[in-house]
Amino acid sequence: MLRRNLSALAPSLATVQANEVIVSGGGLVGAAMMASLQQLRKHLHSSSASQADRSTASLLASQLTRLMLVDPGKRPVYDASNMMHNLRTVSITPVASKIIDNLGAWDWLTTKHPYYRIAVRHEQTNSPFLGAGGRSSSFFMTSVLGNSTSTEPLLEFTDLRKPVGFICLNAELNSCMMDVVEAQQRALVGTGAAQDTLCFGAHLEGVQIPCEDTLAGPWGSARLVAGDANIDVSFGLLLGCEGRGSSLRSILSLPSLQQDYAQTAFVCNVRLEKAEDGNVCSFQNFFRDGRIIALLPTSEDTANIVFSTTPQHAKELLLSTQKDLIAELNRRLCAFAPNDIPKILEVPQTSTPDGTVRRAQGSFPLKLSLTTTPYAPRAILLGDAAHGIHPFAGQGLNLGIYDLCALTSVLEQAIRSGQDIGSSVAVGQVFAGHMLSHTAPVITGMEAIKKLTYWTPGLASVGMKALNSIPVVSTLAKDAIMQVSSGALFAARHRRCFLLQ
């Protein structure tokens, strides 16, 4: 069996099942991390075998002989006919797409819609419902922004040569990544070279890690529980990829920064009027009260809506009629630029056998969290377990993909130099430095934009317009922003990692 249950594992155990690495969490980052570890093991063996004797190659690869993935839920399986499986989307940068491709999952995706343009507007300048009295009366603001409604974007990024990013389905990407993991697992059957274990419907209890970080020190331990069955496991490194509600983060009591945005994200799928450009633009509109709405294209005539709003408004949207919901979304999007932002025609819905009507919609609370020290002896946090950010930046999953790429590179260096993969010094601290270097600029920039567009909408609008229109400033500033947002800066720092080749 590919996903071995505990009863199947028990006869092969003496007292404790030892694993070099245990990945806790089978979501997008957890599945990708497992695939990356499998690729690293293969890379260590092949690259070392070409440079030295086979015994050295086997020794290096043996540092990752036994890998385990544990998740309390079911194995993710994508069902295209299930509209809820198409509800949550992720925006993938070109660099993150390269990593996913090198892991082996990119070609398996059926939805990876490219977009070549990002257009940003603000209620202060672009809303047709804001009267002249609602706009700034200062001479400076009026001379720059005018005192009438404009349909032109305050800020836009366009690259007709290559995509700025891709919109993928969360459920499909997760399922495809797990397919990759299982394919790698099948390739090991009968070789005796390594053993990978996938435990769904199971979780870890009683996690114990060493108090002191010593070279070749004691491994960590835990109890693997699935229903009434349980076994003892030990690990050289435990990776927490459990998302925002990470149990490992709670167990380790790692220092972190927290902020409740007092907002809820309303998400839904929509069908659009056909766009002349093939629907290859991502739109984002900001509002003076702090709300933000984004339209993310998923095909030539469909899109995903992410509306960061108040909890009460999100609840009203969930309960609204089809007609009222479409009217509200068009008022927030298409009305700002009818000739640019496509009109929403419908929100797909189906009827259940009992006559209940269900729409492709949902909601989730918005909070910021950043674990400043994402490691402990023999334990590391990745992805949303280490940093959860506001969705308007579109960088949540990308940062998680960068995490696993950086950690894979750090682990390769540690193994090649004979270091303990569970060392806080050789692995944990080095990874934390890399993680903060690619998360801190995104979080800082995101928070600055969010606060400026809310506290000083007029000034923020002037800044965006200047950034978009002043020739030298526009070129330099936009290039700097794209270096960070596209992942190019991350790729330059980690260009030697085999996942970026």
CATH number reported for the structural domain that contains residue 154 in this entry: 3.30.9.10
Contact 296, 91 (CB under 8 A): yes
Residue 483 maps to a domain: no
Is the same domain home to 209 and 325? no
What pLDDT is attached to residue 123? 92
- H/E segment holding residue 458: helix 457-469
- Per-residue model confidence as pLDDT tens digits over 135-175: 554 434 454 455 557 889 988 999 888 999 999 999 999 99
Look at the chain and report how many structural domains it folds into. Answer: 2
Beta-sheet strands, E only, within 201-228: 203-208, 220-226
Q: Do 125 and 179 belong to one domain?
A: no
What pLDDT is stored for residue 295 in this prediction? 97
DSSP state of 109: -
What proportion of the chain, given as a percentage, has pLDDT over 90? 64
333 and 269 part of one domain: yes
Please tell me the pTM assigned to this model: 0.91
Nearest to residue 305, comparing CAs of 167, 154, 175, 156?
A: 167
Entry field: residues in the chain:
501
pLDDT for 15: 52
Q: Give the pLDDT of residue 53.
A: 56
Residue type, 180: V
Instruction: Tell me the three state secondary structure of residue 422.
Output: coil
SS3 of residue 405 by DSSP: helix
For residue 476, the model assigns a pLDDT of 81
What are the respective helix, strand and coil percentages of the chain, to the nearest 5? 45, 25, 30
Does any domain span residue 100? yes
**268 and 148, same domain (yes or no):** yes
Which H or E run contains 196? strand 195-200
| Co-location of 432 and 402 in the same domain | yes
The answer as to whether 86 is a domain residue is: no
Verify that 181 and 125 share a domain, yes or no: no
What are the tokens at 149?
């409604």
Q: Are residues 11 and 159 in the same domain?
A: no
54 and 187 assigned to the same domain:
yes
Same domain, 309 and 429: no
Report yes or no on 478 lying in a domain. Answer: no
For residue 145, the one-letter residue type is L
Long-range contacts of 364-367 (CB under 8 A, 24+ apart): 364/264, 364/265, 364/267, 365/260, 365/263, 365/264, 365/265, 365/311, 366/261, 366/263, 366/264, 366/265, 366/308, 366/390, 366/391, 367/244, 367/258, 367/259, 367/260, 367/261
Answer yes or no: do 176 and 253 share one domain: yes
Dmax (CA) for the chain in angstroms is: 80
Residue at 468 is within a domain: no
Q: Specify the 3-state DSSP secondary structure of 69.
A: strand
- Residues 293 and 22: their CA atoms lie apart, in Å, by 38
Please list the ranges in the chain whose pLDDT falls under 70: 1-16, 48-61, 131-148, 212-216, 393, 472-473
Among all chains, which residue has been given the structure tokens 């200047």?
Answer: 466
Q: How far does the chain reach from its first CA to its final CA, in angstroms?
A: 33
Assigned domain for 194 exists? yes
User: Which pLDDT belongs to residue 255?
Assistant: 86
CATH code, domain with 252 = 3.50.50.60
Statement to judge: residues 417 and 448 lie in one domain: yes
* Cα angle, residue 172 at apex, residues 168 and 177 outer, rounded to 5°: 105
Regarding whether 212 and 336 lie in a shared domain, the answer is no
Considering the domain boundaries, does residue 472 fall inside one? no
Q: How far apart are CA 273 and CA 167, in angstroms?
A: 19
Distance (Å, whole) CA 24 – CA 402:
18
Element (H, E) at 79: none
pLDDT of the residue at 14: 41
Looking at residue 160, what is its pLDDT? Answer: 85
Return the structure tokens found at 111: 């939805």
Helix axes 94-103, 170-188, angle to 10 degrees: 30
For residue 144, the 8-state DSSP code is H
Range of the domain at 282: 95-169+261-365+457-463
67 three-class SS: strand
Specify if 482 maps to a domain. Answer: no
> What is 229-263 written as a DSSP string?
EEEEEEEEEEEE---TT-HHHHHHT--EEEEEEEE
- What whole-number distance in Å separates Cα of residue 226 and Cα of residue 230? 6
